[in-house]
Amino acid sequence: MMRPTARAFVWIGGAVFVAALALMVWRYSADFGRGGGAPSAPAALVDTLWLTLFACHHSLFARPRAKDLVARLVPADLVRSTYVWIASLLLIAVCVWWQPIGGTVYRLDGAARVLLVALQVAGLWLVVRAVRAIRALELAGIESPRPHRDDLQVRGPYALVRHPLYLGWILAVGGASHMTGDRLLFAGVTTLYIAVAIPWEERGLIAEFGEAYERYRRQVRWRVVPFVY
C-alpha cells in the first residue's frame, strides 16, 4: 500500500506532466507560429541546447543502470514518478526559456494546407491510440510499471509500425502548414532525437521481451515511418 506522501508525490507529478504537455502544445500552436523577422542563429543554438538536455534525460534516465542508481535513492514505487517529474520540469524549462527564432520557412494554403492539417490530426490520433495501449497512468508516472513480459503490444497502431507514438509525434509537429523557424527547429531536433534513440530503446525491448520482440520485429519491419525507417 502506497504511503499518503508517496501517493501525493505521484499524483502531483502526474498533474505536472499534463501541465507540461499543455504548455508545450500552447507554445507550439501560438508562440512558435508567429514567425516574422530574420531567423536568429544564437536563439536557435540556445533552443537546441535546451532540447538536447531534455532528450538526454529522456534516454539516459531510461537505461537500466540509471534506473538502478535512482532505485537506490528513492523507493522502488517512486522510480517512474521521479523520471516523470524530471522530464516534465525539463519540458517546462524548454517552453519557458525558449528563445524566439523567427522567420517563416513556408506558408501553404488551399489543398496543401488541408492535407497537412489532416496529417497532424492523424498524428494526434496515433499518439492517443498508442498511449491508450501502453496505459496513460503509467506514462504519467501515477502507476508503477507492471511486469511487461506478457504485455508486448502488437495490435492496433503497433501493427503498422513498431513505434507509433513517435510517428504520431513527427506528423503532429512536422505537419504545420505555416512552418516557422521555431517550429522547424522544434520538429527537426525532436525527430533527430527519435531516430538516434530508437536503436537504444529497441535493445532494451529485446532484453526485456526476448524472442517475442524479435518475432515482432520480423512481423512489423518498419520502426517509425512505413517503407522508409
User: What are the tens digits of pLDDT across the range 121-176?
Assistant: 999 999 999 888 877 777 777 776 655 545 677 888 899 999 999 999 999 999 99
Please state the φ and ψ torsions of residue 49, each to the nearest 5 degrees: -65, -45
Q: How confident is the model at residue 7 (pLDDT cuts 50, 70, 90)?
A: confident
How many residues can be counted in the chain?
Answer: 229
| Contact present, 164 and 129 (Cβ < 8 Å) | yes
State residue 147's pLDDT score.
53
State residue 123's pLDDT score.
96
The whole model's pTM is what? 0.89
User: What are the tens digits of pLDDT across the range 14-58?
Assistant: 999 999 999 999 999 999 998 888 889 999 999 999 999 999 888
Asked if pLDDT for residue 80 goes beyond 70, the answer is: yes
User: Using CA atoms, how far apart are residues 71 and 83, in angstroms rounded to an integer?
Assistant: 11
Task: Give the percent of the chain with pLDDT over 70.
Answer: 94
